[in-house]
Amino acid sequence: MNRAELKKLVARGEDSRTQFKADTRNAASLASEMAALLILKAEPF
């Protein structure tokens, strides 16, 4: 992802597939959400 793509993503805002995290100080919580995302992507639909 380059800078222009990131700007477009941010400009579109959050939706059902995109969430922005303002507080990343809680590493365990962030890691848990990342793991859930990986599991979701691994599941066949």
Q: Is 13 helix (H, G, I), strand (E, B) or coil?
A: coil
> Which pLDDT score, from 0 to 100, does residue 43 have?
63
What is the per-residue pLDDT for 30? 84
Residue 21 · residue 30 · CB < 8 Å: yes
The torsion region of residue 19 among left (phi > 0), alpha (psi -120 to 50) and beta comes to: beta
**What's the pLDDT at 44?**
65
Q: What is the pTM of this model?
A: 0.48
pLDDT digits (tens, 9 = 90+) for 6-28: 999 999 999 888 888 777 788 88
Contact 30, 24 (CB under 8 A): yes
End-to-end CA distance of the chain: give it in Å, rounded.
Answer: 26
Domain locations along the chain? 3-42
pLDDT band at 45 (very low <50, low <70, confident <90, very high): low
